[in-house]
Structure 1
Amino acid sequence: MNAFERTIVKIGSKLEYQFAKFMSKRRKPRVIEPYIGYATPDELVVKGRVLASRRYVEERFGQSRVRNVGQMLGRFMTAEVAGAQVQAEGISTTSDEEGYFELRLPRNGRHGWVTVETHLHDQDNNLLHSEDCAVLAPVDSKTVIISDIDDTVMKTGAYSLTRNLWTSFTGNTLTRQVFADSAVLLDRLTTRRSMPVYYVSSSPWNLHDFLQTIFDRSAVVKGPMFLRDLGLSETKLITNGHGDHKGAAIDTILDANPDGQAILIGDLGQKDAQVYHDAIIRHEGRIAAVILRDPGPQLDAKIRKALKKLEDTGVPTFHDTTFAGLDAKILDLIPTEK
């Protein structure tokens, strides 16, 4: 980043901070927006964001694209609260400049879906708000699933920026569609081998509730989401790029499950083949298989090259325009856990 870019980003960061500060003062109540957390062998990682208020969107079938765009823009017009005190089970933290917080609590043998009650306090330690945050704490699973979202689970067109933006902003939770074959694949893998699912996406945290609503409606397996912060800071315009974010999230998930392998699921329309190749190199012996959705029946030279590089690692790699029938092939690779 050159001197001019640093100046622009610094100015933008200060303007964004002042706007959020102004809005949070106007909206006195403080609320916690809960995200789905995850677990390490020793800790529960509770995640969320402190906002001046939460926007509740009422969506109806048949509403206009203009209304959809307005509602989607509203999801990004958040008034974050920095420096807020968040507490759970006697452990406290403060929200960062974008309102995000993370609490690490002793796991104490807890497993399955764990509900953690979080509390928001003011400077005088008065309780302002309480919110339940869900945490997935797998039971000694030796294999986990790490899945992309856009064009892997949900139909988006993310490989085309124009199509991605059109699809994202003109649809709503009632019109957005998931791939039925993805929902079936994830359900069968989690049911027959009790594999926990983690989702990694370049979508912003502002869409966490949006995505979760779509997944719930479409019966997609529930799991922690590792999304991206698109906010400004004095050192960046947005967060790291698509590949860097996904790679870092994969590292975090594998670190949280140090004794297990992972199945990576994605698509060939973006850079998942390269991201997954790099993950295989970084975590030798820990990637059990890779599943990729083809963007169409014909793959261009660039995609074929990335796919060949991935296949050359020796990790079983499956790719097709559909995931139908892949569960049997994957289950053959994964021993039954006792």
Structure 2
Amino acid sequence: MHPSGKYKYDAAKDSRSRRWWARIGINTAPVVKVYHGYGHEGELQVFGHVLSRSPVTERRTRYHLLANIWALLRLFMVKPKPHATVQLLWQDRTIHAQTADDGFFHFQWKPEYPTPAGWHAVTVTHTQNGETIAEGTGEVYIPHRTQFCCISDIDDTFLISHSEQVFRKLKVLLTHNAASRRPFDGAVRHYQLLSHGHTVPPIPNPFFYVSSSEWNLYDYIREFSDTWQLPEGVYLLNQLKLFSQLLKTGRGKHHTKFTRIARILESYPHMPFVLLGDDTQQDPYIYEAIARHFPRRIISVYLRHLSDEKKPEVQAVIHNLEAQGIACCYFRHSEEAIAHSRRMGLIAPLPASW
């Protein structure tokens, strides 16, 4: 201790600590993680985290049980940096923000002039006393004006997760990596068909993936989606969790999911929406609430049937949705959902000679 009574900084001890963390694949330098943002011509938003401790990104996928377990555990060995100053430059204008207690930042601004549809690169810088500490890059998405937009859950909607069985879900997370996980048969094809329904590949129908999974799994989920060629889209996940909260993975507050979906609909008032989910958690009830709050905005709801116990309640929800003129498909196999989408005219019909 310093004679003044204050602890004196020990550079050697700090260096040893950094080297120890580095050996186990943890970075102790500040990191800015920028997630896919979204917006329209008149307003844009981008979000991310500033972390003072985070997992090092691996350059290759390891197909080994212990490596999978350690890779997953590292995703939760994070330390958010609260009240950090961040900024981004857009159209020669600097926008400022500050991170919340959990290190999360959210930029929302109106651009000086309209931004064309498509993906646009953005860089977020973390500064301290006017000095750049770290920066991260991401993209902001402005959808084209297409016939409809899709909002999908992730776990047990297209990614086999066993969400209702916490230990079974953890077993899958720990024993598989993002590249070895599997989607439900036919789910990717359904999403690809919806993405290109009544449009052309350069102008896909926009996709938003809204989940109760935490931001810790963002890169993991993105890697899975890229591996299986799911439509490119914006991922809106739940609050970052620490290592001590690992057992609660995917079991966040579902009311925030309603809020995230509502913000998407408010951002695109001219577009109708297709909602995709499952019956293992709260999707049917959240989608029913969305339909009530946004009448005549939802054209179709798809719910994967995995829980026989919940079937009567879900069928009651479907009855309420259909009474509002919303087409519903409660299905076990994705081929049923694809056939329904063809009947609805959301995707191209099969050729007459098929």
TM-score surpassing 0.5? yes
Which residue in 2 is equivalent to 1:87?
87
Q: Is the CA contact (8 Å cut-off) linking 1:93 and 1:102 kept in structure 2? A: yes
Which segments of structure 1 move beyond 4 Å, counting only runs of 4 or more? 25-28, 58-61, 237-242, 296-300
What is the distance in 1 between the residues matched to 2:344 and 2:311? 29
- Residue by residue over 1:111-139, the C-alpha shift from the partner in whole angstroms, topping out at 9 and shown as x without a partner, is 2111112222122x122233221111112
Contact 2:124 2:137 in 1 (8 A): yes
Q: CA-to-partner distance for each residue in 1:56-85, whole Å, 9 max, x for gaps?
A: 246645411x43232212101112111222
SS at match of 2:256: helix
Question: CA separation in 2, counterparts of 1:39 and 1:45?
Answer: 6
Q: Is residue 2:119 matched to residue 1:113?
A: yes
Is 1:183 the counterpart of 2:184? The answer is no
Give the percent of matched residue pairs that are identical in Structure 1 and Structure 2.
25
- In structure 1, C-alpha distance between the alignment counterparts of 2:343 and 2:214, rounded to whole Å: 35
In structure 2, the residue matched to 1:133 is 138
Distance (Å, rounded) in 2 between the aligned partners of 1:87 and 1:62: 38
1:222 corresponds to: 232
The residue identity in structure 2 corresponding to 1:215 is S
Give the aligned partner of residue 296 of structure 2: 285
Give the CA deviation at 1:224: 0.9
Count of aligned positions: 307
Three-state SS of the structure 2 residue aligned to 1:77 is coil
Distance 1:207 1:213 in 2: 10
TM-score normalised by length of structure 2: 0.78
The structure having more radius of gyration, on CA atoms, is 2
Tell me the residue number matched to 2:67: 67
- Determine the structure 2 residue equivalent to 1:32: 32
Cα distance in 2 for partners of 1:179, 1:50 equals 34
Answer yes or no: is the 8 Å Cα contact 1:273–1:310 preserved in 2. Answer: no
Structure 1 residues 239 and 282: alpha-carbon distance in aligned structure 2, compared to 1, 3 A threshold: farther
Q: Which residue of 2 aligns with 1:12?
A: none
Q: Secondary structure at the match of 1:52?
A: strand
User: Gapped runs of 5+ residues in structure 2?
Assistant: 1-13, 19-26, 199-203, 243-247, 348-354
Deviates most, 195-204 or 301-310: 301-310
1:104 matched to 2:108? The reply is yes
Q: CA offset at residue 141 of structure 1?
A: 3.2
Q: Tell me how large the CA RMSD over aligned residues is.
A: 2.9
Question: 1:30 deviation in Å?
Answer: 1.9
Q: Counterparts in 2 of 1:1-338, with a 5 A limit? A: 29-55=29-55, 56-57=57-58, 60-64=61-65, 66-89=66-89, 90-107=94-111, 108-123=114-129, 125-193=130-198, 194-231=204-241, 242-295=253-306, 300-324=311-335, 326-327=337-338, 329-330=340-341, 333=344
Correspondence for 1:4? none
**SS of match in other structure, 2:160:** coil
TM score, norm. by length of structure 1:
0.81
- Separation in 1 of the partners of 2:109 and 2:190? 33
Aligned equivalents of 1:238 and 1:291: distance in 2?
A: 24
Name the CA distance, whole Å, in 2 between partners of 1:186 and 1:238.
25
State the secondary structure of the residue aligned to 1:210: helix
Comparing 279-288 and 172-181, the one that deviates more: 172-181
For residues 101 and 309 of structure 2, the distance between their equivalents in structure 1, rounded to whole angstroms, comes to 45
Cα distance, 1:304 vs. partner? Answer: 3.6
Deviations 1:168-202 (A, max 9, x none): 23321122112242211111111233310001110
Using CA pairs under 8 Å that are at least 6 residues apart, name the structure with larger relative contact order, 1 or 2.
1
> Could you report, residue by residue, the CA deviation over 1:146-188 in whole angstroms, capped at 9, with x for unpaired residues?
0000111111111323322222233211221122422111111
Give the whole-Å Cα distance in 2 for the aligned partners of 1:249 and 1:238: 19
Show CA shifts across 1:303-333 (max 9, x none): 4444444444331001211222644643554
* AA partner of residue 104 (structure 2): Y
**Structure 1 residues 185 and 67, CA, compared in 2 at 3 Å: closer, same or farther?**
same
Give 1:280 deviation, angstroms. 0.8
2:321 touches 2:327 (CA, 8 Å); kept in 1?
no
**Per the alignment, do residues 241 and 68 of structure 1 end up closer, same or farther by CA in structure 2, a change over 3 Å counting?**
closer
